[in-house]
Structure 1
Amino acid sequence: MHAALRYRFKWAIGHFLVSALILLVVGGLIFFVWYPHPYRVLAGGLNLFLLVAAVDVVLGPVCTFAVAAAKKPLKELRMDVALIALVQVGALSYGAWTVFQARPVYLAFEIDRLRVIHAIDVDPGLLAQSAPEFRSLPVRGPELVAVRPFASATERMEVTMAALQGLDIGARADLWVGYDTQTQAIQSAALPLSALLAAKPEAVPMIQAGLASAGLSLDGARYLPVASRHAFWTAILSPLDARPVLFLPVDPY
């Protein structure tokens, strides 16, 4: 390999290794705090991370490769790389902030399903009307919440019309209550898993393997659909407290 080309690769590879290390830290924050399983798929965390990664570990080293001329004075080259790194840090910070703003904050029970709620889905005005414990959105991963029963037929109509215009019922902070306060309603809405097995025979092996891995029995097992922007999944509920204990990439519809 030509000496000038080796010189460029040396700088580019060094830049790549540093970028990859930083990206590893950011990825840990994204996948283990903001978008834990299954939200890396349900909430699009993986796609957002890949976009950030493209900026961090591809464009930066490529730019360094382009400017790293062997004949360029070392001081000038260092300044060029520092400028590239500064732009890269700015882009990475903006990307990470965007991922944070789009993070899932709640898995909400709404009538007959669970819905993934993102921070940007929540109307600040309705958030101010919510119970005190819900006025600060979670930053350490999504939590469970439930929508309370409608207070009247008029409220039901108003909420339904708003939902038709794009404001999902589960994102209505003014209707949020603790998930555990609605255990009976959740259990009543949940469907027998045997019905899903009959409707989705192609998913039977996956469902059975999931139950086995979670130590659950098919007898009496119940599920709820999980709705998100990106997909419909299935959540298997605990028979004790109706909390999700297993998520499966099976569209129950």
Structure 2
Amino acid sequence: MFVNRSPLTSRLLAAGVHFGISVAIAALAAWLVFEIWYPYPYREISGGRELFFIVVTVDVIMGPLLTLAVFDVKKSARTLRLDLAVIGLFQVAALLYGLWTVMVVRPVHLAYEMDRFRVIHAIEIPKDELKLAPPEFQRLSLMGPTLLSLRDFKDNKERFDATLTALAGVPLGAQPALWQPYAQAKSQVLAHARPLAELKSRFPDRTAEIDDALRSASRASDVAASTGYIPMIGRKDFWTALVDIRTAEVIAFVPIDSF
């Protein structure tokens, strides 16, 4: 491929091949991040998209540029392979570090917290307290956020201690000792869900957006009578979760601050 070509052409061709391989690997990494760790709407709410693109952009550009700088057909095959191997290892290490950084701040739970939903991220949860959670929640998911809810406080002392911990920077929803299966909060979810018609009346210019969210969830916009809404707190923004007021199922999300 590189024989009988000018040195510049060979360098550009090698850098182009390297760029193509880098883009293919970045596409696989993007699938992992945006389909598994940060599915919609968490890629918007939790900021994973910006962090991932910074990491991948640097990685995809860095490797081919280094290849462009060191590739020379006049070098021995052994030296050239060694140079490219070092670049490849450096690039893979940078990508793995970037993916690790994105992973440790990933959203792991959508918690129903008293009268709202809160997105809980792995980095917010005190790891030494995970043993206090119900058995099914003691390992943080690597397959996308899971639903859970918070149980009632056992007594005023527990309420006070949990509140102090929240004020210290660990939200109630990130305190494993309070976790319980989402289904156990069904009555509270239904009690706090407000009619969807109210949301549309509060934000008349967002009605089409709300209807689009229902359609994207395979729900016709005319099912508004069986749909309610509950405010939702993310890392970056406030959103709104749409729930089925018969089952408490979370069916869609809209980027509206409904507090």
Q: Normalized against structure 2, the TM-score is what?
A: 0.91
User: 1:170: Cα distance to partner?
Assistant: 0.6
How many positions carry a matched residue from both structures?
A: 252
Output one character per residue of 1:59-82: Cα deviation in whole Å (capped at 9) or x when no partner.
111111122245444432322111
What does 1:138-149 correspond to in 2, within 5 Å?
138-149=141-152
User: 1:239: Cα distance to partner?
Assistant: 2.5
Output one character per residue of 1:168-222: Cα deviation in whole Å (capped at 9) or x when no partner.
0111110000000110011112222222222222212211222344324222421
Structure 2 equivalent of residue 127 of structure 1? 130
Correspondence 1:199 to 2:202: yes
Q: 2:166 aligns with which of 163, 167, 176?
A: 163
Correspondence 1:245 to 2:251: yes
User: 1:85: Cα distance to partner?
Assistant: 0.6
Q: 1:230 aligns with which of 227, 236, 249?
A: 236
Output one character per residue of 1:130-186: Cα deviation in whole Å (capped at 9) or x when no partner.
122211111111100001111222222222222122110111110000000110011
Correspondence 1:215 to 2:219: yes
Structure 1 equivalent of residue 190 of structure 2? 187
Q: 1:51 aligns with which of 41, 48, 54?
A: 54
- Separation in 2, partners of 1:83, 1:123: 38
* Long gaps (5+) in structure 1: none
User: 1:116: Cα distance to partner?
Assistant: 0.8
- Separation in 1, partners of 2:71, 2:191: 65
Superposition misfits of 4+ residues, deviation over 3 angstroms: 69-75
Structure 2 equivalent of residue 89 of structure 1? 92
Q: 2:80 aligns with which of 71, 74, 77?
A: 77
* SS in structure 2 at match of 1:78: helix
Asked if 2 retains the 8 angstrom alpha-carbon contact of 1:106 and 1:142, the reply is yes
Question: Residue type of the partner of 1:188?
Answer: A
- Separation in 1, partners of 2:27, 2:211: 34
Percent of residue pairs identical:
39
Asked if 1 retains the 8 angstrom alpha-carbon contact of 2:38 and 2:144, the reply is yes
Question: Residue type of the partner of 2:166?
Answer: A
Q: 1:113 aligns with which of 113, 116, 140?
A: 116
User: 1:53: Cα distance to partner?
Assistant: 1.1
- Separation in 1, partners of 2:46, 2:65: 30
RMSD of aligned residue pairs (Cα, Å): 1.8
* Long gaps (5+) in structure 2: none
Correspondence 1:176 to 2:182: no
Of the structure 1 ranges 105-114 and 216-225, higher mean CA displacement relative to structure 2 is found in: 216-225
* SS in structure 2 at match of 1:247: strand
Q: 1:39 aligns with which of 38, 42, 63?
A: 42
* SS in structure 2 at match of 1:218: helix
Asked if 2 retains the 8 angstrom alpha-carbon contact of 1:43 and 1:228, the reply is yes
Asked if 2 retains the 8 angstrom alpha-carbon contact of 1:55 and 1:91, the reply is no
User: 1:115: Cα distance to partner?
Assistant: 0.8
